[in-house]
Amino acid sequence: MLLTDKTTAEKFITASESYTSPNQRLFPLTAKVNEQNNLEIGGCDVTKLVEQFGSSLYILDEKTLRTSASQYRSAFEEYYSGESQVIYASKAWSCMAVVSILASEGIGFDVVSGGELYTTLKALEMSGFSSEDIEGKIYLHGNNKSIEELELAVDNDCKIIVDNQLELENLAKITTEKQKSVSILIRLTPGIECHTHEYIRTGSVDSKFGFNLHELDDVFNFIKAQNLIDCIGIHAHIGSQIFELEPHHDLGGVLADWFKKALDLGLPVTELNVGGGLGIRYTESDDPPSITEWVKTVSTAVTKACEDRGLALPKLISEPGRSMVATSCITAYTVGGRKIIPDVRTYVSVDGGMSDNPRPITYQSLYQAVVANKMTAEFTETVTIAGKHCESGDILIKNIDLPQTETGDILVVSATGAYNYSMASNYNRIARPAAILVNDGEASLIIRRESYQDLVRQDLLPSRLG
């Protein structure tokens, strides 16, 4: 989707109109240029939202998030003839509003810490979901779960995706002490490589996650000896931001082999969890498969693998995170100063940066941006967007074409719903931004902007210093 023949930001909106899969779009489904030539999301003028809520500001579009959820759910219903369950990888963005929206769409939850589990449980309680509504839909992940996290999961009847032998031994003690059973899935490392950043590649042999394949026979035998641990499934996840479909196809056969071995040993396995990993469009040149294409590939691979091995179709679990929420959200900043270095570079500074989006400095991630109040203005300069933090590497975007920017303009970075707020920090003691939910012209605050008082809330001053 290269659009070098067009010279205004409006191109990013019009070029996305042919894509119905949210993960393939640069901006939310509701994005448009209004009569004032400003960017509009969810029926709300972004410049007005900044006036009302300040910046930097996360703006989450409810329609796009719900559409992603419904596309995942309906695609599995179409392409997988067995039972299926989509669970949201909460690490992408865990907050009560996101949990409530996705739960109402029939989505379950993959949590990776006690904090994510508590947030999920609290949001479901406050949204009026009963224990029957969420039964069997919360899964606890993690490669070094604490005793407290395991106990919280057991107490709340969560399924636990077990990552290592120590965790099995701790669960054996916890279930014996509580005289309460727990359902687990075993996470394995399938040895499947995919082309993505090494920090988010999890399926290769050299990974901190999961049991190596040569360990599994001993693992299954250990579980068989436990009275209160029920192994109900096998899990693997090969990485994130993946554009290839073949690795997901290959994964089906690896999982089915070990699913069969578990059955042959007498373990009551009924679930097969293929993880997530579908990529999204961050820039014009990105070309990810659609949600439907990914689901079809996974479903077809698992179905054939089971048929080839004479297995009844298991309950198929998937864990989308980034592809569920990333393109539902944008981040709005206010432009501050400029620095022009003749024949070298022009820096345009904004009132945020690595504390609200650490992905560029951490992963060298690329993003697209527009000036929300100049959507139809011609591109006239190439600039580098600099954050306000005291780090030379705090650069959000290098060498981007924009209209002439001025102090007070509203710069919007797209596809910031995944791993932005969830990885946000208070570096330089900068308060984390607010987040709002937009839908049909209504804007609702879902995360308050932190105050200076919040920054010192946990600080303590010893009496000898006072």
* Euclidean distance between CA atoms 438 and 128, whole angstroms: 22
DSSP notation for 251-317: HHHHHHHHHHHHHHTT----EEE----B----STT--PPPHHHHHHHHHHHHHHHHHHTTPPPPEEE
Lookup: tokens for 456: 């010192």
**What residue spans of 352-421 are helical by DSSP H?**
359-363
Beta strands in 301-447 (DSSP E): 315-318, 329-341, 345-350, 369-371, 381-386, 395-402, 410-413, 434-439, 442-447
Joined tokens for residue 238: 């090969």
Q: Among this protein's residues, is 329 annotated catalytic?
A: no
CA angle 348/353/355 to nearest 5° reads 165
Displacement of CA 104 from its chain's centroid (Å): 18
Q: How far apart are CA 194 and CA 247, in angstroms?
A: 6
> What is the DSSP secondary-structure string of 174-211?
HHHHHT--EEEEEEEE-----SS-GGG--SSSS-SSSE
Residue 54 · residue 71 · CB < 8 Å? no
Catalytic (active-site) positions: 390
